[in-house]
A and B are shown apart, each in its own frame.
Chain A
Amino acid sequence: MAESILQVSGLVKHYPLTQGILFKKQVGAVKAVDGVDFELARGETLGIVGESGCGKSTVAKMLVNLEKPTEGEIRYRGEDIAKLSGKALRSVRRNIQMVFQDPYTSLNPRMTVGDIIGEPYEIHPEVAPKGDRRTKVQELLDVVGLNPEYINRYPHQFSGGQRQRIGIARGLALRPEIIVADEPVSALDVSVQAQVINLMDRLQSEFELSYVFIAHDLSIVRHISDRVGVMYLGRIVETGKDAEIYDHPTHPYTQALLSAVPVPDPVAREHRERIILAGDVPSPTNIPSGCRFRTRCWKAQERCALEVPLLAVPAGFRYVGGPAAHDSACHFAEEKAVVGNGNGPG
């Protein structure tokens, strides 16, 4: 594995719930992120998938220091970014940039494209001296496939896909090492999604970027990721290389999630086993004891309510090896191929 540049350990974010006006007392907490660990290597893409409310966007915000973690560490080049401030923080932020989900609200409608993409240089003037900025911005526009002459236009003059390119150009302006992309294509039309995904792929090899790619669309995550982490209610429940997760999932939640994805192929559909989960995701203010997935799991037994399963290679696979031997937080982990590409068993 290439050199690891970001290490996240024991990351927790709780938002307190208070009662009372004058004397606020804490009555509980929204446990948005509740113990997340992962590493990111140089040039690698880590995909994080999960349903709404699983905490994936909160993780993204903490990675770029828009939220302070309640507990845990985010180490970038050996330093915990949550504890930095002032100059040191600024230089770390330069290297970890973000691309947002909604290209309609994440660009200031009153600023020209040139000002939007050039704004990072105001904060980090050492990257580009004042006289250079316009040329730099034009270069960036060219890199993301927009006409450099559009520099004086406003966001409303662009389509959704073009706006997302502007957002990506802004993310690239400071030549970061890591880009955290939170649902970067989910607001786009199908035919435009592919353009933006291809652009991100190309930029990754061109600038040696590492991506943390957060999305709810499992197909897109598979396409772009080297490794994948599946989140449920604030925790990663299964993680591994893309083929390990998609072709050899061992956690029941991952299996259900994969089986629920509609596959654009009516023939494959008929050969596929559907697992339909009962009920909804529990509230993050009141997380079930033991395994947090047990309230919707068809395998749940008494042990699941008592013992929190650890994210590790399940005992049954530890000595066997093979693609099923990857981290999975389930007491009863079992391999089950649900996507059905003919490679896996079953």
Chain B
Amino acid sequence: MLLEVRDLHVEFRTRDGVAKAVNGVDYGVDAGETLAVLGESGSGKSVTAQAIMGILDIPPGRITGGEVLFQGRDLLKLKEEERRKVRGAEMAMIFQDALSSLNPVLPVGDQLGEMFVVHRGMSRKDARAKAVELMERVRIPAAKERVKDYPHQFSGGMRQRIMIAMALALEPALIIADEPTTALDVTVQAQVMDLLAELQREYNMGLILITHDLGVVADVADRIAVMYAGRIVESAPVHDIYKVPAHPYTKGLLESIPRLDQKGEELYAIKGLPPNLMHIPPGCAFHPRCPMAQDVCRTDEPPLYEVNGEEPARRSACHFWRECMNG
């Protein structure tokens, strides 16, 4: 396993109380594999990623337990100085909003080149040449001329490509992409996802794709982990989860999106709202919204049950996963 997260817990201390954002997350990703982490806002998907990258704001955030094993080393035990060497060089992140992730007063070439100056000790001139190479790699037309341009001079799709170029610069083993195409139009989204998938294959990178979009996930992921209230509620290979979801939350999500290829009747809607992280319901966090909930769900937190005995494993955190899969 390239990266393995084990029983990760993160909380935020705020004036109003403690918000438990991540409550025991386990997932892993191999080289060349794409793991999609699916969840709605507040499900803890981005916080987990920030903890892996070591860019969590501490305080108010606090990692209260767990391990992040990257190529066998527990990143959480490393000193900040050592972490910095891992970040960028061995694992990199692509953010949702490219405009606010790029420095508006520096030409993009300088920002791309900075990676090489800082991590590889290159001269500015060599770094500039590398920047042009990277921009060509992500198919920015006239890269040589545009290397001196500022972020605002690029379109949204191109800015996201520059973010990808920046993440790829040092050929990391792992890329975490947090909603990389959410801010883009569909036609541009397709371009960017294609590029990302192609580069991933070429470098045999592990990719963690964080998204709320069930459509994007189906297009690119090998495996899916669905998060709810800071926990993984279901994890499975992509084909299985769409065919037969093993958790009522996943099932509800799949039924609540309108389909492009069918004109449906009334949409299925999951009742209620996602829980407040300061008051996560006892037992299964999904029980107040779950159509299948019974008494045991209100008291006992379901473990991640193994749904099939074979590899790759499928897991579901529902006491009634059998019933869920059967109808």
Contacts of B260 in A (CB 8 A): 218-219, 222, 246, 258, 261, 263, 339
Complex Cα spacing A258 to B187, Å: 9
Does B312 sit at the interface, judged by CB under 8 A? Answer: no
Q: Out of A159, A201, A246, A339, which one reaches B273, CB within 8 Å?
A: A159
Residue contact A280 to B258, C-beta cutoff 8 Å: no
What's the minimum C-beta distance from A336 to chain B, rounded to whole angstroms?
14
Complex Cα spacing A199 to B269, Å: 10
Tell me if A's interface is mostly helix, strand, loop or mixed: helix
Binds A, one of B46-54, B214-222, B302-310: B214-222
Residue contact A191 to B256, C-beta cutoff 8 Å: yes
Best-surrounded residue of B187, B219, B269, B274 (most CB of chain A within 10 A): B187
Q: Out of B191, B242, B269, which one reaches A276, CB within 8 Å?
A: B191
Does A22 sit at the interface, judged by CB under 8 A? Answer: no
Does A223 sit at the interface, judged by CB under 8 A? Answer: yes
Residue contact B267 to A198, C-beta cutoff 8 Å: yes
User: Interface readout for B260-280 with A: 1 if CB under 8 Å, 0 if not?
Assistant: 111110111111011000000
How many chain B residues touch A (CB < 8 A): the figure is 47
Does B133 sit at the interface, judged by CB under 8 A? Answer: no
Does B257 sit at the interface, judged by CB under 8 A? Answer: yes
**Number of residue pairs spanning A and B whose beta carbons lie under 8 angstroms apart:** 135
Complex Cα spacing A189 to B268, Å: 14
**Which residue on A lies nearest to B193, using beta carbons?**
A262
Within 8 A of B (CB), among A265-282: 265-269, 274, 276-277, 280-281
Q: Out of A194, A216, A246, A276, which one reaches B267, CB within 8 Å?
A: A194
Q: Out of A159, A277, A340, A341, which one reaches B191, CB within 8 Å?
A: A277
What's the minimum C-beta distance from B194 to chain A, rounded to whole angstroms?
6
A264-B40 contact, Cβ under 8 Å, with A191-B274, A192-B273, A276-B191: no
Does A52 sit at the interface, judged by CB under 8 A? Answer: yes
Residue contact B187 to A260, C-beta cutoff 8 Å: yes
Contacts of B142 in A (CB 8 A): none
Residue contact B214 to A264, C-beta cutoff 8 Å: yes
Within 8 A of A (CB), among B212-252: 212-219, 238-239, 242-243, 252
Complex Cα spacing A161 to B274, Å: 11
Contacts of A274 in B (CB 8 A): 190
User: Interface readout for B113-143 with A: 1 if CB under 8 Å, 0 if not?
Assistant: 0000000000000000000000000000000
Complex Cα spacing A268 to B216, Å: 13
Complex Cα spacing A184 to B174, Å: 37
Does A256 sit at the interface, judged by CB under 8 A? Answer: yes
Complex Cα spacing A262 to B263, Å: 16
User: Interface readout for B140-156 with A: 1 if CB under 8 Å, 0 if not?
Assistant: 00000000000000011
Residue contact A257 to B187, C-beta cutoff 8 Å: yes
Does A220 sit at the interface, judged by CB under 8 A? Answer: yes
Within 8 A of B (CB), among A114-166: 159, 161-162
Q: Out of A198, A256, A262, A276, which one reaches B216, CB within 8 Å?
A: A262
Does A51 sit at the interface, judged by CB under 8 A? Answer: yes
Q: Out of A51, A201, A219, which one reaches B266, CB within 8 Å?
A: A201
Does B189 sit at the interface, judged by CB under 8 A? Answer: yes
- Measuring CB to CB, which residues of chain B are less than 8 angstroms from any residue of chain A? 40-41, 155-158, 185-191, 193-194, 212-219, 238-239, 242-243, 252-254, 256-264, 266-271, 273-274
| A-B CB proximity, top 8 nearest | A262-B215, A223-B258, A194-B256, A51-B185, A341-B261, A260-B190, A264-B214, A194-B269
